[in-house]
Structure 1
């Protein structure tokens, strides 16, 4: 009976170890583990039968049997563990390692610190590349007008003039803004500049544009501010006056008109005062020098410029100006910023849209043209202003200017 009990105990211990190994790879519902559990349960049932038979023996024999069983079971388990350990040692001794030292570790002799010169150089290069990438990405996402061909192809309208950038004029303009001189007028102060020659070409184009039109009013507007419409209006009026035509410039931008600052005259009385009945037209008109050029400023900035420009009094003022002058140049507000520009342009015989090259996008031009056409106002053409002379499209696209003057 003792031998049988010891055999059962050893078998249970082996199965328990085997079950632990299987549980590392399989779940408890795996068929191998289920079969092993069934075998262990039969062995436990057999051990319970032996325990019931042992309890029938005298107490001294039960104690002797228990002690001998524990001794033999523990001895057998210990022997099995020693055998397993010896087998693992043999396996480990038979394994050949594949690790080798490639380089010995090098110990630094001084602390490591960042290389400031290298870091600065890399930062400058990366910053420059990032800036160039940003510029290219911005140009791809926002397509701006850089040549008259784009305007003519997109809108089927003529570009009457391409006005190049004049660095000399803008340099003097910045000096005047700082209080270092009077505001310049391009065609008066720099008549031989390339931009002045382009404006003379615009004067010629304007002459043919008005040949078959009823009326003498010419409106200049733009999609957005800073396109140079006031600059174009004033210089074009100067050229027309030089050609012997009685010309008047009307600053019809009743929100941000500023031509009076260039001519160094007061804002009021002006157009808004004449329309409102606060001043007469003769009181508001100012002569510009000894030429045939006159100027009508904005007047006091009204709180309701759109309502003021919609009145019939504006038609009367314009008709009176057409009777007194050969040409009336209307400098209007940008059409995308306010409806004032469209209201004034509707009274003109010719409407020109000033576009600033490299700044105004095609989408803005398209919105401005749509806003003007919505009120059934025809557009005569475009004027591309401030085109960079050094740009590739200016020099290689066929837009050349020649300096031509008389020599004594």
Structure 2
């Protein structure tokens, strides 16, 4: 048993496959090209509007809570912080909140994109998927889950938000069949983003400002009470004084007790101010609102500890990470569906961020409460020291000292109130806190040309993709095709070269002249006849002892061209001056009678059945040296007749009377006639038709005819496409139009 070693395909093999299956390649290319053209003709033209916004640094405009006590406004200018801020704004632009606002403000539900379209796949999925609760009638989009989900899906599909690398600019693109609607969506979305940023910062500081306002109210009442007391004391009694004034013109009263009292008053004032500011931070932390604390991160109150400021910044960073993770999760859910395996991991990350935020808020709450308690205790201590000093002053100077103290306390209390009120108003807390840090660079404008379909790009993609898919299809078809196609296939199958290759021919047909149906007579200079002459020469030289005299021509199955080949081969042998007899041994479906235009006559079956004493051999008209023995009537037992001793004897006799005897036999696989005759002949020609004969069929027929290697079987590949490179590669030349000329008998 021979072991066949498969070799890797070479570039030449791939080129041959491409040439053999180029009809598949061109067919797929044409199909994809036509479908692309149809798509470009029928698809909706969609316009893309583009807008650009700039995300400015925090603190570049307006004032915030950091200005309450005159603190300098400044933002974190690190690249990481800037990138987080830009990415956060980009994720907010893609959020459902802004999308719903834009859809409702522009009435996009009536737009062509948002109207229901029948989708066969969606309809099929709805049939098997569980039905949810329907939307109530006449409600807003926010309260209609089904409508909201569909509208958000369409909106996010057409929206594209892309931060421009290395800048603080965000590019916003939107696709819509109406160019004006596309531009309106861009402008409305950017306006909603600016409003959302303003609302977020206002809400984050409003609660703190409200508490500070309450504190200012108490401080104002205390100041007014002190002023009234100063007036009463001044009216009731005189004031002990040094009789001099300071640089501001105020009357001075001095003693050691008064000096200590003044210091205690100053300490009490500082402690009170610190307690008020620490209380503002504590009040904000008690709400536990992460969004509000995130908004306070860039507006740290003076007096807050460095740890509190760091914690607030960390909350802001975690909130930004949470927003980015939520946007990524929603995008993955829309793009891949709820079964996407990474969704659980992403939800875990989101839960971890939320846990970190909760922990940090807890730490801020504890730290703020601790700072407030310390400030309160400090204030109490300062107040106690102040009260002791005041008591001593009362004892020392009674009404006069009391007057000075009360007047100073009233002035400082009034000054503190006016200073805090001024700072609060300057920061804009009472009037809206701070303007947005979003700047519109390029508004959305209605485009002049549609974005899709991009006909040149689509056609180029269709051609390239069609060619690639066509090549893949060609290689797939070639590997799945079990038929013999080329000379290489035949050589790989049998490990030997064929005796010859016959081209595919259009057979001439004539109802009046049977000779016109025979190619060796109708067109003796054709490629087919020339190839048959080469086969004749190779056949006569195939055996070293002597040329074969009895030649069996057969095939694996019907329709492979064996009868046409055997008849033309017999004519070529006869034209060489050799007495030739062609016998139609296909006793079931003989065709030589029709091909030669001979009426029904007795034939081989009648001779073998003993109904004819002499062989009913006929001379073929118009062809010297050629005789024919027809098949005759169809017998009930063709194989038995062909295996009979009579057949052997008659064939032995024909060998001595003729130079060549050609047997046109039945196919090998359907019946055993050819296998039986194969033992009586010198050589056998097995016809294998390109693109018709299957490899297992040809291989099985060859094994049956070889008789364990004791009989010569020549392979002939018939029906080769003349444009196939393997056809000319076998003959060793390309097509040059070299033929016999009727006008010129010169020898080249």
TM-score when normalising by structure 2: 0.36
Distance 2:641 2:708 in 1: 18
Cα shift at 1:133: 8.1
1:346–1:377 contact (8 Å) kept in structure 2? no
Aligned counterpart in structure 2 of residue 289 of structure 1, from 582, 604, 621:
621
What residue number does 2:272 align with? none
What residue number does 1:8 align with? none
What residue number does 1:165 align with? 504
2:579–2:626 contact (8 Å) kept in structure 1? yes
Within the alignment, does 1:232 sit opposite 2:565 as a pair?
yes
What residue number does 2:97 align with? 99
1:309–1:344 contact (8 Å) kept in structure 2? yes
What residue number does 1:363 align with? 696
Pick closer, same or farther for the CA change 1:98–1:309 going to 2, 3 Å: closer
What residue number does 2:584 align with? 251
Aligned counterpart in structure 1 of residue 681 of structure 2, from 334, 348, 352:
348
What residue number does 1:143 align with? 482
SS in 2 for 1:144: coil
Cα shift at 1:144: 2.1
What residue number does 1:310 align with? 643
Distance 1:328 1:397 in 2: 28
What residue number does 2:540 align with? 207
Distance 1:106 1:140 in 2: 53
What residue number does 1:319 align with? 652
Equivalence map 1:28-107=2 (5 Å): 99-100=97-98, 101=100, 102-103=102-103, 104-107=108-111
What 5-or-longer segments of structure 1 have no aligned partner? 1-96, 115-124
Deviations 1:15-44 (A, max 9, x none): xxxxxxxxxxxxxxxxxxxxxxxxxxxxxx
What residue number does 1:152 align with? 491
What residue number does 1:9 align with? none
Deviations 1:127-169 (A, max 9, x none): x9999988764532233222334323432444111111123xx
Within the alignment, does 1:184 sit opposite 2:523 as a pair?
no
Pick closer, same or farther for the CA change 1:131–1:147 going to 2, 3 Å: closer
* Larger deviation, residues 97-106 vs 248-257: 97-106
Aligned counterpart in structure 2 of residue 373 of structure 1, from 700, 703, 706:
706
What residue number does 2:598 align with? 265
What 5-or-longer segments of structure 2 have no aligned partner? 1-94, 120-462
Distance 1:404 1:107 in 2: 73
Distance 2:606 2:674 in 1: 18
Pick closer, same or farther for the CA change 1:185–1:98 going to 2, 3 Å: closer
1:164–1:385 contact (8 Å) kept in structure 2? yes
2:541–2:547 contact (8 Å) kept in structure 1? no
1:215–1:322 contact (8 Å) kept in structure 2? no
Deviations 1:221-274 (A, max 9, x none): 111111111111100110111100000110111111111101011343111110
Aligned counterpart in structure 2 of residue 276 of structure 1, from 571, 585, 609:
609
Q: Which has the larger radius of gyration?
A: 2
Distance 1:255 1:130 in 2: 47
1:306–1:340 contact (8 Å) kept in structure 2? yes
Pick closer, same or farther for the CA change 1:129–1:329 going to 2, 3 Å: same
1:354–1:385 contact (8 Å) kept in structure 2? yes
Task: Give the CA RMSD over aligned residues.
Answer: 3.5
Cα shift at 1:289: 1.4
Aligned counterpart in structure 1 of residue 719 of structure 2, from 379, 382, 386:
386
Distance 1:161 1:214 in 2: 17
The structure carrying a bigger helix percent of its residues is 2
Cα shift at 1:392: 3.5
Deviations 1:81-124 (A, max 9, x none): xxxxxxxxxxxxxxxx963414321256999899xxxxxxxxxx
SS in 2 for 1:159: coil
Distance 1:134 1:303 in 2: 48
* Larger deviation, residues 334-343 vs 143-152: 143-152
Cα shift at 1:372: 2.1
SS in 2 for 1:323: helix
Distance 1:280 1:264 in 2: 25
2:702–2:713 contact (8 Å) kept in structure 1? no
Pick closer, same or farther for the CA change 1:113–1:302 going to 2, 3 Å: same
